[in-house]
Structure 1
Amino acid sequence: MGLVAEYEILCAHLPLVDVAAAVPDATLEVAIQFNHGDRPPFLVHATHDDHAPLERAFASSTFVDTYALVGRAGETRRYQVRSAVSMEAQLGDHLDDLDDLRALATAEAIVERIRVTPRGWIQTGWFADRAAFDAFRTFWQRNDCFSLRRLTRDGDPEEPGDGLTDRQREALRIAYEMGYFDIPRRASLDDVATELDITASSLSERLRRAQTHLIETTVASTWPPLPDT
């Protein structure tokens, strides 16, 4: 039976991590069109209330050659990003064995989702068996940048919200109990941040990532339809 894994690759040199670091409160989901040579286009679904800083980050990224807006739905925009360098050139100075990286491309695995963060990539992948998963995990662990978040067997039931970090779960619980999600609100972002002894900006990012994960695992498994106009 196959395995489904959610894991984080902690590597600041992965493509578009510099963009996520420049706009840390944006949500970036990426799909890679691997059948387009050694510099495949990236499809980036970016959710943010102001896309001007995001596009400035694209323009200043050393990885990005060109980008184009190809669709929008609410606060989410879809961009096609063409890279200035190949993945191997981008990562070559920071990984110990590029041959093993190339071998991963033919592994019996499918990466279903990539979320870009200021620290690296969070991926959800399907692996044919334990050996396929171990080959993938071992490579990234050897480069000191692999963190497993969840591992289940294909077909195992999964509770909504599975995969939240302890800090995300705590932030949601405290914010809910204090009335941050009430209408009207009974507690401000600063109130909840004080209760958790963190900054308001850290709490905002934590809540956004937790809410994004809950949406992804419940109601937003597919890209919303684009408007007709």
Structure 2
Amino acid sequence: MGLVAEFEITCEVLPFVSVIDDLSCDGIDLEMQLNHGDTPIFLAYVTGAAVTEADAAFDRASFVGQSTLVGRAGDTLRYQVVPSVGMDAHMGEEIDDLDGLRGLAEAAAIIDHIEVTPTGWVQSGWFADRAAFDEFRRFWQDEGEFTLRRLTRDGEPEPPGDGLTDPQREALRTAYEMGYFDVPRGASLDNVAAELGIGASAASERLRRAQTHLVETTVASTWPPLPD
């Protein structure tokens, strides 16, 4: 089963980072059209900026070869941006593994949303399996900084916030406030279960699942794979 992930990449030489740094706006979102050889075409959605300011910011960006305003909706401007060079040429001086960068374009993944930040990109998309996701993760851990925000299996309802269910969040908060995680413990599992109004085995299972989820979506995603 595939995975759906949202993650932040810290790498200030990524395309359009210089644009958002140069432009006073509410945000820039991107779509990449990868069927244009080595140089993908971008659709850039600029929110909260005047046309003249956005045009000038694109003109000053070395990555941008041509930018064309193709539409607007409310205060969002839609541009088609043709890069002056491919991403490997643009980022070549800052990226050590250019073959790995090119390989990401052929990975079993579909990146359906990119948000530009002053320090890089926030990406979200679909990955065929954990190996495809780990290819992205390992590359950006090596070349910049990678922070996982959310990881779920394809087809599962998208979890709110941290991805915990309401009962799991309630169990964690109750256990924490009662001192269950203190050393030494200020409350027993039976105490926590009684406060939640459930049995001790159900409380244990709820806490275990909550803790496992938090580990899998935070620190576990940054560990290198175990040797075979």
What TM-score range do you get, normalising by the shorter chain? Answer: 0.5 to 0.7
- Which residue is 1:3 aligned to? 3
| TM-score scaled by length of structure 1 | 0.67
Structure 2 CA distance for aligned equivalents of residues 25 and 159 of structure 1: 29
SS at match of 1:112: strand
- Which residue is 1:73 aligned to? 73
Larger radius of gyration: 2
Q: Which runs of 5+ in 2 are unaligned?
A: 164-228
| TM-score scaled by length of structure 2 | 0.67
SS at match of 2:136: helix
- Which residue is 1:27 aligned to? 27
**CA-CA distance at 1:52 after TM superposition:** 2.8
- Which residue is 1:85 aligned to? 85
Structure 2 CA distance for aligned equivalents of residues 50 and 162 of structure 1: 35
1:150 to 2:150 alignment: yes
- Residues 59, 49 of structure 1: alpha-carbon distance in 2 compared, 3 angstrom cutoff: closer
Structure 1 CA distance for aligned equivalents of residues 95 and 79 of structure 2: 28
Kindly indicate whether the alpha-carbon contact (under 8 Å) linking 1:137 and 1:146 is maintained by their aligned counterparts in 2. yes
- Which residue is 2:113 aligned to? 113
Offset from partner CA, 1:67-112 (integer Å, 9 cap, x none): 1111111111111111111111111111121111112211111101
Map 1:144-223 to 2 at 5 A.
144-159=144-159
Kindly indicate whether the alpha-carbon contact (under 8 Å) linking 2:25 and 2:49 is maintained by their aligned counterparts in 1. no
**CA-CA distance at 1:54 after TM superposition:** 2.1
**CA-CA distance at 1:114 after TM superposition:** 0.7
Kindly indicate whether the alpha-carbon contact (under 8 Å) linking 1:24 and 1:118 is maintained by their aligned counterparts in 2. no
Structure 1 CA distance for aligned equivalents of residues 111 and 55 of structure 2: 26
**CA-CA distance at 1:24 after TM superposition:** 5.0
**CA-CA distance at 1:53 after TM superposition:** 2.1
Kindly indicate whether the alpha-carbon contact (under 8 Å) linking 1:4 and 1:124 is maintained by their aligned counterparts in 2. yes
- Which residue is 2:51 aligned to? 51
Q: Which runs of 5+ in 1 are unaligned?
A: 164-229
Structure 1 CA distance for aligned equivalents of residues 46 and 162 of structure 2: 23
Structure 1 CA distance for aligned equivalents of residues 16 and 83 of structure 2: 10
**CA-CA distance at 1:113 after TM superposition:** 0.5
Offset from partner CA, 1:19-67 (integer Å, 9 cap, x none): 0111253311111111112222211111115333222111111111111
1:133 to 2:133 alignment: yes
Matched to 1:91, the amino acid is M
- Which residue is 2:39 aligned to? 39
- Which residue is 1:101 aligned to? 101
Kindly indicate whether the alpha-carbon contact (under 8 Å) linking 1:67 and 1:81 is maintained by their aligned counterparts in 2. yes
The alignment yields a C-alpha RMSD, in angstroms, of: 1.7
SS at match of 1:138: helix
- Residues 54, 160 of structure 1: alpha-carbon distance in 2 compared, 3 angstrom cutoff: farther
Q: How many residues align?
A: 163
- Residues 161, 76 of structure 1: alpha-carbon distance in 2 compared, 3 angstrom cutoff: farther
Question: Percent identity at matched positions?
Answer: 55
Matched to 1:86, the amino acid is G
Deviates more, 1:35-44 or 1:83-92: 35-44
Kindly indicate whether the alpha-carbon contact (under 8 Å) linking 1:24 and 1:117 is maintained by their aligned counterparts in 2. no
Structure 2 CA distance for aligned equivalents of residues 44 and 162 of structure 1: 28
Structure 1 CA distance for aligned equivalents of residues 86 and 16 of structure 2: 13
Matched to 2:134, the amino acid is D
